[in-house]
Amino acid sequence: MKIGIIGTGNVGCACAMAAVVRGSAREIVLINRTRKTAEAVATDIRYGIPLGHKVHIADGDYGDLGGAEVVLITSGVNEKTGGATDRNDPQGRLRLLEKNAQIYRDVIPRIVNAAPRAVLLVVTDPPDPLADVARETSANAIVLSAGTYLDSQRFRVHLGKHFGVDAAHVEAQVIGDHGTAQVFLWSSARVGGAPISALLKQRGENLADLREQVEKEVRYANITIIEGHNASQYGVGIVAVRVAEMICNDERAVIPIGSFQKKFGVTMSLPSVIGRGGVIEVLEPEMSGEELVGLQRSAEFLRSALDRIRGT
């Protein structure tokens, strides 16, 4: 199995490291605008490979993507550099869209020409509208957005912390866009099968209070991380590589991930079956009236953002 990673900035490096440590593929190709940087990253990681899984990692050019099952795209201006770290800014990551769309219009055709059968996973922020830019740039490409898979993991972790349980046993999803308009599915959130609402009632706690606290922590987790470490990279690196594994291994796993939703006219996240062909099936969950309205609002937010950059 072969994975390509475009961009060796903070997130690209985190993806590369996660892929090697997890043994996600036998071959990993790193591509960067400055090839010397990709070469340095590949060399650095290569020195640790004898202690783990058998993986070949190397720098390359777009032509070296041939035969890749998945290509992770991390190129672009990040949140700190692009000025997207203000909690009071409703645009959030969408502030990066115009600059990163220009980068995507350049790199996507190169990727598709070299690896026409590869699934493209957009990791760059904002991933949902950039997935639409990629899809419109190369109509035959299979394009996914990393979407709200990371947000859902954050949701699970914060709920696990609140209830004092392993987050792996928390069922909770965030859908919609990977941004300020994301939708938390509180109505279906559970711990070991028990609804969150029932657990809170048993503990004499208020759902509104927990909701305000957790949504704030999850929605702005990236900014909190950037304030302490300059870049939010490791969580998304692990998550992106896990998606690549699902595709390469044809796992048929069900996760919230971004794909083009005809019903809404944009790429955004819904629970989806993931396998070799990308999204095999979308499973739209039962939602409360408030959650459904939130999802529609999320789609409108993304459509407006795309309208602003089309033709630029």
Clarify whether residues 141 and 158 are in a common domain.
no
> What's 27's domain CATH number?
3.40.50.720
| Parent domain of 243 | 149-309
Tell me the backbone φ, ψ of residue 71, rounded to 5 degrees: -125, 120
Clarify whether residues 159 and 295 are in a common domain.
yes
29-33, 95-99, 120-124: lowest mean pLDDT where?
95-99
* In the predicted structure, residue 311 carries a pLDDT above the cut 70: no
Clarify whether residues 141 and 156 are in a common domain.
no
What mean pLDDT do residues 256-284 have? Answer: 96
Instruction: Band the pLDDT of 86: cuts 50, 70, 90.
Output: confident
Clarify whether residues 65 and 117 are in a common domain.
yes
Clarify whether residues 133 and 169 are in a common domain.
no
Which of the following is catalytic: 162, 169, 178, 229? 178
pLDDT tens track for 132-162: 999 999 988 999 999 999 999 999 999 999 9
Clarify whether residues 107 and 234 are in a common domain.
no
> What's 155's domain CATH number?
3.90.110.10
16-25, 72-81, 82-91: lowest mean pLDDT where?
82-91
Tell me the backbone φ, ψ of residue 287, rounded to 5 degrees: -135, 155
Clarify whether residues 46 and 19 are in a common domain.
yes
Three-class SS string for the chain? CEEEEECCCHHHHHHHHHHHHHCCCCEEEEECCCHHHHHHHHHHHHCCHHHCCCCEEEECCHHHHCCCCEEEECCCCCCCCCCCCCCCCCCHHHHHHHHHHHHHHHHHHHHHHHCCCCEEEECCCCHHHHHHHHHHHCCCCEEEECCCHHHHHHHHHHHHHHHCCCHHHEECCEEECCCCCCEECHHHCEECCEEHHHHHHHHCCCHHHHHHHHHHHHHCHHHHHHHHHCCCCHHHHHHHHHHHHHHHCCCCEEEEEEEEECCCCEEEEEEEEEECCEEEEECCCCCCHHHHHHHHHHHHHHHHHHHHHCCC
Look at residue 67 in the predicted model and tell me its pLDDT: 96
| Angle separating helix axes 207-219 and 196-203, nearest 10 degrees | 120
Look up tokens 């990993």; give the residue: 28
178 as an active site residue: the answer is yes
Q: Which of 61, 5, 56, 48 is nearest to 243 (CA)?
A: 5
Clarify whether residues 190 and 107 are in a common domain.
no
* In the predicted structure, residue 166 carries a pLDDT above the cut 90: yes
Look at residue 312 in the predicted model and tell me its pLDDT: 55
Clarify whether residues 83 and 215 are in a common domain.
no
Quote the CA–CA distance of 31 and 92 in Å, as a whole number.
Answer: 28
Clarify whether residues 302 and 156 are in a common domain.
yes
Other CB atoms within 10 Å distance of the CB of residue 143: 26
Cis geometry, peptide bond prior to residue 50 (ω within 30 degrees of 0): no
What mean pLDDT, rounded, does the chain reach? 95
Clarify whether residues 180 and 278 are in a common domain.
yes
Q: How many domains does the chain have?
A: 2
Look at residue 92 in the predicted model and tell me its pLDDT: 81
Which residues 6+ apart lie within 8 Å of 201 measured at CB?
none
